[in-house]
Structure 1
Amino acid sequence: MIPAAFDYTRPSTVDDAVRALAGAGEDAKVLAGGQSLIPVLRMRLAAPTVLVDIGAVAELRGVRDDGDALVVGATTRHADLLRDPLVAAHAPLLAQATAQVGDRQVRHLGTIGGSLSHADPAGDLPGVTVALEATFEVAGPGGRRTVPAAEFFVDFLTTALAPDEVLVSVRVPKRPGWTTHYEKFVRVAQAWAIVGVAAAVRRENGTIAEARLALTNMGTTPLRAAGVEEALTGAPATVDAVASAAGRAGEGADPPTDVFASAGYRRHLATVLTKRAVLAAGGIV
C-alpha cells in the first residue's frame, strides 16, 4: 500500500526537532532509520500529518565514554554499535543482542533509539536496556529529563515519551567484572523473538555474587526477572543451582498467546532460555 500524504521536515538540532513536534501536535511522527515506522505507514496503521526526520541531528549519533557509563546517541545505527570498540569493551550485552536484530539491511538502517521508542515487546533491545539498568535522556519543550529504562516502557508499543518529546541518548552503566549473554528463540532466522533473555552475571569465589536478567516477549513490556535474580544471588555457580533459579523465570509474567506460541509454551521457553543465558554468561559448565 501507499502511505497517506504527509508533510516532511528535517531539523538539524534537537531543539528544532522538539519545536517541529510541538507545532504539529499528536499528528506528528519521528523518523530515524525507518525500519519500524515505514512498514506501519505503508500499511496505513498510522497516518501522521507530519514526519520529523531527525537523521541530520549530529548530537544524536555515536557512542562516547562518560566515565562510569557509555552514552549512545539515539540515531546510532545497529551496525555502528556492532563495530564500536567502546560497546565491545564496556557493554557487550548490547552488541550481543544487536547482532540478532533483523538482517544486515535492517541493521545498517535501523537505529537504537528507533527500536526503543517503537517499544515492541518482541524487540531485542528494550529488554537489554532494562537488564543493564540504562537510563534515557529525553528532550521536550520543557527541557531535558532522565527516564530509567524500567519506567520508559509503559505498555504495548507505548513509552513514557510525550508526543512532543525526542529520545536523545541511552546511558549504559559500565559493569567491570560482569559477563553477559543474550539468548533468543525464533521460528526462523531474523524473526522477532518468541522469547528472549538478556543476562548479566558477576561471579565471585565460586558463587554468583549478582545477576541481572530481563525477558523479551513475556508481557506487554520488557520484564525484569526479579525472582531469578534473587535465587541466583549468592548461589553456587553450578548447573543445578542455575537450573533451580531459572524455574522462577515466569514469576510475574503475562506472556501472550498468538499464532506463534501459547502463553504456556512461552513460560516453558523462558525457563529453558534463562538457564542457557545464565550458564553462558557465567561461563558455567
Structure 2
Amino acid sequence: MWFIFALLTTLSWGCADLFYKKGNTEGDKYSHLKTVIMVGLVMGIHGFFYMTVNNIDFSPKYLITYLPVSAMYILSMAIGYAGLRYIELSISSPIQNSSGAVTSILIFIFFTHTISVLEGLGIVIITVGITILAILEKNKAKEEEILSLEEDKRYRKSFLAIIFPILYCIIDGLGTFADAIYLDELSLISEEHALLAYEFTFLICGIIAFIYLKYKKESFNILREKDMGIAAIFETIGQFFYVFSISDKAIIAAPLIASYSIVSVILSRIVLKEKLTRQQYATVMLVMIGIALLGLAEGLAG
C-alpha cells in the first residue's frame, strides 16, 4: 500500500503547489504567513477529527517528541510560500522537490544503505540542474535591470529569488531524513501520533502567525483566502498519505514523492500560463529526469 499512498501524496501536493502560487503574490508581504494560518487551520481541524473518529489517545508529549521533524517541515514550507512571490512555480517546484536527493544521501551516510549507479547519477543530475538554474536566474536578473519595468511585477526576479527554493530543498530534505529516522529506521513514534503531532504543531504555528498579523494590524479574512484554503486542503490530504508511505519504505518513497514537481510544472503551464526560456525549460527537465532516476532506482531496488 505504500506505493498507492506515495502516489496520492504526489498528486495532492502537486495540486497544492498550484494554489500556493496563486495565493502568494508579490504585492502582499504577509501572504506566506496567511498561508501558514490557513494550512494550520485545516490541518488542525483534520487532526482533531481524525483523532476523535479513530479514538486515538494523543498525549502532548508527542508534540515535543516529534518537534524536530515538525519544525523543519514547517520552516521549509514557510520559506517556500515566501519564495513563490518572486519566482515561477515551474522553476521553484523542481528545485524544492529535489529534497529527496538530500534525504537519500543522508540515509546512505548514516545508515546501512548503498547508493546504486542510477541513484548516484540522479543526484549528480539534480545538483547540476539546480546550479544551472541559479546561474540562469542571475543572468536574467541582470537583463531585467536593463529592460523596462513594464513586465508583470509578480514575475520580476533577482538572483536572491532562487535562494528560497534551494533553502526549502535543504531544510525539507533534513526534515524527511529525520522523519525516516523517527518512523522507519528507529521507529521512535507511530505513524498516527506523528501525523497528529505535525498537524497540531502546524495549528499552533498558524495561531502564532494570526496573532502576529493582528499585532501588525494586517487584515485577514478566512473567507477571502480561497486559493490558500484549497492549497491547505490538498496539503493536508497529501500529508495524511505521506506519513503512511514514508513509515514503510522511506528510502524509496522519499524520491518518488519528490516527483510531484512534474504535476506542479504541468499545472503551472496549463493554468498559470507560465513561460520560461528554452534554457530554463531544458534545465527544469534535467532536474525532473534526475528525480525520476532516483524514483526508478529505488523502485528497482525495492
- The answer to whether TM tops 0.5 is no
Counting helix residues as a fraction of each chain, which structure ranks higher?
2
TM-score under structure 1 length normalisation:
0.26
Counting strand residues as a fraction of each chain, which structure ranks higher?
1
Higher relative contact order (CA 8 A, sep 6+): 2
TM-score under structure 2 length normalisation:
0.25
